[in-house]
Structure 1
Amino acid sequence: MGGLSWMHWLVVLVVVILIFGTKKLGNVGSDLGKAVKGFKDGVKGEEDKPAEPAAQVADKTTIDVEAREKNKV
């Protein structure tokens, strides 16, 4: 009386496929996989992120120097 047999699960699976269709169920599986991958990437944290490229650092330094020079004049 307590558990469901494999025949019950088969009937439930057929009803779910009839209601939602196989395409929508495939999309749900794909979306779930992307969500899990995003969660894993988020758990890794910021220590695994690549460092800022040297060109961007040099550009910021140049802009700061130019701003200081303008303030002196």
Structure 2
Amino acid sequence: MSIEKQLVEKYGPLLSLVDLSDLLKRSPDGLRIAMTGQSDFAKQWRKVRCKVGRRVYFRASEVAALIEAPAASNEG
């Protein structure tokens, strides 16, 4: 089963910040603070976020792509 399908099954098509922090094994506040910086980590994750009103969500398909990207680049 692909990572995307697993994420959608567990969290739905959009992950909240709390869902993403659970997935990345970080605290929600720590993840929120890490995303405010200018690091590569922050830039990558800010690209996949979407705001619905005042709430921030992350698309499961793009989260899966980010999770799979390092594995794909290490193979070659």
**TM-score normalised by L of structure 2:** 0.26
- Higher normalized contact order (CA 8 Å, seq sep 6+, divided by chain length): 2
Larger Rg: 1
* Structure with greater strand percent: 2
> What's the TM-score once normalised by structure 1's chain length?
0.27
- The structure with the greater share of residues assigned to helix is 1
